Every structure is written in structure tokens, then in C-alpha cells.
Amino acid sequence: MELLRNELFKIFCRKRIFIAFVLILLIIYVPYYKGELDYINKNYGSIEQLKQEFKKHEGKINSNDTIIKSQLQGEEDKDYSDKSKNIKRNIKLEYTAQSKPMLIAIYDFVKLADKPFIDVEGRFIQGRVFDFEPYSMKELAKEIDNLKKNKKDEEFEYKNKILANSMYKKVMQREFNYCDGWNMIVVNYEKLTPYLIVLFIILGVSSVFASDYEDNVYQIVMASKNGRTKAVFAKVGAVIIYSIVVVLMLSGINILVNGILYGLDGVNAPIQCLYGFWSSPYKLTIGQFLFRSIIITITGTILLAFITMIISNISKSSITTSFIIVVMYAIPIILTILIKYSWQKCIGNLSINKIISAMQIYSFFSTSNLFGQPIKYELFIICLSILQIMIILYFLIRISNKRCGNYSEDSRLIYLVKKFK
């Protein structure tokens, strides 16, 4: 425990971590808070007024939704103040979007879709092309029947569509809820949090081994009895704790800021009420979805931290380690933006940034083909991350033990004599 406490002290007492934290608050969150507050006051008057109007229409969406839409249209056309009209318009747009029939989105994370979805209706972003195959429930049922008639019921495609059908059947009932706070939390989580995680991992972990080399104490540590195993495990334990703290801290700030601005109403609403998740096949509440996403993000962050550790141990330089991590994280993102081929899509979906940006996993239906059986992408990516963590940990210990063999008690004494002579 003493070694673990020492390693934790070394990580958390680095000034650059606290400087980065303060700068992020001052440069990102303070202006963001002020900007959003000004937007709310200018367009709605107060967030409570927006909530009150939303809650008048909350609940399950049924066949009368056209009547409600016409009522909202009538309310919008009345001679209200500009702020009241903005509220009515906001509710109408969200109600219209959430009341549309469920679109089944089958996403293959390995290859590009043969017939990608063109968003003509504006379900997500109007006019944009999305790389998944769209179906209605009737179209999917027809596709399943055709595969069965052609005696393909033992093939992966048939089993995959059966799984999609069973998952989507459970979430066909549409609901309308106020969840603007959670929408903003998700948007910030996807666009900002992953990059901040990478920044804090670089600042805190890139020098875990490199600092020992740079301070010329690695020989002493490796020649000691604890250096062979205990010191390495202490570093591993400290890095895991640091990774968890980073994710929880950044997630907490995001939830706190947007919770104060928009409120946290709707935590028990279905995930399908969130922007970009209207075609999600997962029967989850927003709270359950957030919890799962944070768990996967923590797993991905620990994996990134372990990769940083092993590079730090090999390169013996925190600057070199930082550069390699930035390049490693950036390449899959660039490939995804410039996506033209299936191999680019595969690299992007199996990369570390996909695991850290965990919320995207729940947007569409996606599986992995494991010996002809469809495995949910959520489960697949968690298992893959844990396997990678175990492999990296094995090589990290192996490298450290191998280097330990190069340092004996005699070499430590010789080194100390030379150092303090």
C-alpha cells in the first residue's frame, strides 16, 4: 500500500494536471455556461417556462399525435411574445421528431452499407447520408421471411436480423419527454469529453515510467527487491485509480454544469428521447444508458492509460510518449472523416477513441459476427478492451522483469557511488 500511495502522490501532485484543470474550467466551461445562460434568457425567458410547456405534452405518443401537432401549430400561430413562440416552436419540432415511426438502423461496423440511409425527412440531420441500412418493421419482417424461404436461416445475416427484430419490438412505443439537460450532457460528452480524457491521460501517465528514467532513479528501483514486481503493480494500480478519477471528474463537471442550466428531468425517460438516439434498439432509460456509457469509457480510458504506460517504459521519454499517443488517437478519427473504404470504417470502430466515446455505441443496432453468432457491439467492445488490457499488462510486467535482470544489488551500489561521488 505504501508503494501505491507513493505512485498516486506522484501522479496527482503534478502541477500541470491542476493547471490544465483550472484552464479547462476557465476557457471551456465558464464561457459555455455564460453562453448557454444568455441563450436561455434570450429565447425562453427561463428554463422553468420551457419545462412547464414540455410537461403538458409528456407521455406515450399514440394515434392522437396528429391532433397534438395541430394544437401545437395553433399555439405557435397565436399572438404570443417572441419567447413564448420560441418555446412552442421548440416543443413542436421535438414532438414531431419523436413521434415519427421507429426507423430500424442496422449498422455494420466492419464494412460500408450497400444502401446507406439518406435522411430526407430530417430524422437526424436533413440531407445527410448515414452509413447504415434502414428498415421499417414490415420491411425487416419481409427480409427475414425471404431469408428463411431461401434456407438461409443458419446464416449470420438471418440470425442478426432476428436479433434486431426482437430488440426493436421492445422499443416501438414512442414517448415524449423533457430531457434537454441530458441532450446537452450527451452532446458535450461526445464532442468534448474524449479529448479531455486523452489530455489528462497524457499529462498524468506519460511520465509514470519515463520520469524514473529522466530523474535517473530507474536503476535504483529496478535493482531493489520491490522493483521486480511490486513497484510495477503499484504503478498499474495508481494509473487505474487515476483513470477512473479522470472519467468521473469530467463526467461530473459535464452533468453539473448542464444540470444547473437545463435541469436533470427525464432521467427515467427512454434513451430514444435523446437527439441522435431515436433509432436506438436498446430498451434503456437515460440514467441506465449514462451509467453503461461511463463504465465503457472507464474501460477505454484504462486501456489508453496502459498503452501510454508501456510506451513510456519503452521510449523512456514523456515527450515521445505524448507524441505517439496523440498520433495513435488522431489517425482513426482522420480515417473515419475521410472514410471511403470498409477497412477505414473497421479501424475507426475498433480504435481506442470509439471505446472512449462510448455513447455512440448505443445509437444504432450493431453486432459482431462471432463464429456465425451475432454478438452485440456493446458486449464485443467491452470484451475486446478487457482482453487488450490483459495483454498489455502481461507485456508491461514482462518488459519490466526483463529489465530487472539487467540490474543487480551490486549494480545499484555502483550506480549510487557514481551518482553521489
pLDDT (tens digit, 9 = 90+) per residue, 150-187? 888 888 888 989 999 999 989 888 888 888 899 999 99
CA–centroid distance for 12 within its chain: 24
Residue corresponding to grid cell 427512454: 270
Count of other CB atoms within 10 angstroms of residue 343: 13
Q: Which helix (H) or strand (E) holds 375?
A: strand 373-376
State residue 193's pLDDT score: 92
Q: How does pLDDT run across 212-231, given as a tens digit for each residue?
A: 665 555 555 555 555 567 77
State residue 417's pLDDT score: 43
Residue corresponding to grid cell 432521467: 267
Provide Rg for the chain, Cα atoms: 26
Please, are residues 131 and 107 in contact by the beta-carbon 8 Å criterion? yes
Residue 70 has pLDDT above 60, yes or no: no
At 227, list the grid cell. Answer: 522493483
How far is it, in rounded angstroms, from Cα 310 to Cα 293?
26
How far is it, in rounded angstroms, from Cα 323 to Cα 311?
10
Coil, strand, or helix at residue 101?
coil
- Please name which of 291, 184, 182, 187 lies closest in space to residue 247, comparing C-alpha atoms: 291
How far is it, in rounded angstroms, from Cα 121 to Cα 99?
13
Of 376 and 3, which is predicted with more confidence?
A: 376
Beta strands in 377-417 (DSSP E): none
State residue 134's pLDDT score: 83
The ranges assigned to domains in the chain are 2-36+177-420, 43-98, 104-175
